[in-house]
Amino acid sequence: MANFLQPPRLRIGEDTEEERHATWLELFYDLVFVVAVSQLAHNLNEDISLSGLFGFVVLFIPVWWSWIGTTFYANRFDSDDVGHRLLIGIQMLTAAAMAINIHHGLGESSPGFAISYALGRAVLVIEYVRAGKHIPSARPLTTRYAIGFAIAALLWLISASVPIPWRFGFWTLGIIIDFATPLTGRKFQVGLLPHASHLPERFGLFTIIVLGEAIIAVVNGVSEQKWDVLTVISAVFGLIIAFSWWWVYFDNLGGKPIEMARTHGKVGVVNLWLYTHLPLVIGITAAGVGVEQILLSKPTLALPDSQRWLICASVALCSLSVSILHRFGVIRYCKIRSQYRLGGAVLLLAIAIFGKGLLPVAVIGLVAVVSAGQVVQDWYQSRPITRLVDPEI
């Protein structure tokens, strides 16, 4: 049983830091975002046009940022008391409300989506004010975050009463302030860098959530089609794509950016790690939708342009994001792997450009080959090198 009231405590720093894993409360909190991501994917699945993709990205960003806000707070100041549990419970309600309002989230449901996001950010502001009150050394950081996030939340709240399209102007300004707040507080982050083992695990768990959408896509696509050879082969290719990017990401994941920031004072590496994960998880989620679209298409007819571009461009976005993470040492620093990821992105875009007229199984097969090729390259590069030595020398 949690303590009734326990002030937030500093969970980071060389003197206090210990090996940490996600708590049961954090895992329970993630369940709401499983639903939210599923709703986002469902929205994109219904409209894979440019406008549908734009709406998907616009709604994805605040959903992801809501998860990021709670995760970073818990990483630094988590305390398992009743007060913290209740605040997390309220944040779960606001996230669930966001998920409910994702359908028509840029239309008639947009006021509800904006209010839900604003209330979730307001709870986060309360948490930072509470942490600053009890941890004087963290007060400059918590004050900066509380002010920045409060201004952004107010803009989102006001937007609910503003007509479209001006409403989205308030959304844009609010999300810019939200994203800029950690960047403007870099000098306060130096002594309060995130936990080196806890944060990579949390990012990995969200990546698992979006990878799960690819698995759901395969199941949904096959269950709604007749079982023929081409559909089954396409489903296998869909699983290979998901498995390949799971392998590439988690084989290279670690707390290196935080260690680099502590050793060399490079706080920007941590921020690069944070913001580059946005296109990565967007790409993975969209790739899941692309797989489902392929499985639902007629297997003996050429894949429509929109579906071909969706699967190829979304996986290319994943590859490009991981290339950036490799290049700047955010995950395993490796120029060779970065170049292979970049080359993979180029190949995938070439498939999108020159693959007109290909059958669905051919398109998804080529994407699977490029994805699996990244795994083979990693394995080849990291394999033990056996040297043959002439015993007579």
Long-range own/partner contacts, residues 245-251 (CB < 8 A, 24 or more apart): 245/211, 245/284, 245/287, 245/315, 245/318, 245/371, 245/374, 246/208, 246/211, 247/375, 247/378, 248/322, 248/341, 248/374, 248/375, 248/378, 249/204, 249/207, 249/280, 249/322, 249/331, 250/204, 250/207, 251/378
> What tokens does 195 get?
């936990």
pLDDT band of residue 137 (cuts 50, 70, 90) is confident
In this prediction, residues 360-372 reach a mean pLDDT of 96
User: How many Å apart are CA 52 and CA 56, to the nearest integer?
Assistant: 6
Query: What would the pLDDT profile of 64-106 be if each residue is shown by its tens digit?
Result: 999 999 998 988 888 878 888 899 999 999 999 999 999 999 9
Distances from the Cα of 218 to the Cα of 12, 210, 293, angstroms: 40, 13, 10
User: What is the enclosing helix (H) or strand (E) of 130?
Assistant: helix 110-134
Q: DSSP readout, 24-91?
A: HHHHHHHHHHHHHHHHHHHHHHH--SHHHHHHHHHHHHHHHHHHHHHHHHHHHH---BHHHHHHHHHH
pLDDT band of residue 158 (cuts 50, 70, 90) is very high
Task: Tell me: pLDDT of 4 over 90.
Answer: no
Query: Other C-beta atoms within 10 Å of 353: how many?
Result: 11
Query: Other C-beta atoms within 10 Å of 19: how many?
Result: 8
Report the pLDDT value the prediction gives residue 261, as an integer from 0 to 100: 65
Query: What would the pLDDT profile of 186-227 be if each residue is shown by its tens digit?
Result: 777 767 777 777 788 888 899 999 998 888 888 887 787 777
Evaluate whether 313 touches 243 at the Cβ level (below 8 Å): no
> What tokens does 365 get?
């097969």
Say how many residues make up the chain: 393
Of 149-163, 208-222, 270-284, 371-385, the one with minimum mean pLDDT is 371-385
Sign of CA dihedral 154, 155, 157, 162: positive
pLDDT band of residue 254 (cuts 50, 70, 90) is low
Cβ-proximal residues to 84 (8 Å cutoff; 6+ apart), any chain: 2, 6, 8, 78, 127
pTM, two decimal places: 0.90
**Nearest CA among 295, 303, 311 for reference residue 367:** 311
**Nearest CA among 284, 318, 308, 298 for reference residue 221:** 298
Q: Which residues pair with 81 in a beta bridge?
A: 3
Report the pLDDT value the prediction gives residue 368, as an integer from 0 to 100: 96
Report the pLDDT value the prediction gives residue 12, as an integer from 0 to 100: 63
Q: How many Cα atoms sit within 13 Å of 108 on the Cβ side?
A: 1
Distances from the Cα of 138 to the Cα of 45, 73, 90, 348, angstroms: 44, 12, 24, 45
> What tokens does 227 get?
């079982």
Report the pLDDT value the prediction gives residue 11, as an integer from 0 to 100: 62
Query: Other C-beta atoms within 10 Å of 377: how many?
Result: 18
Token pair 């020159």 in the structure block, residue: 354
In this prediction, residues 228-255 reach a mean pLDDT of 88
Evaluate whether 348 touches 367 at the Cβ level (below 8 Å): yes
Q: Specify burial of residue 49 (Cβ count, 10 A radius: 0-12, 13-18, 19+).
A: exposed
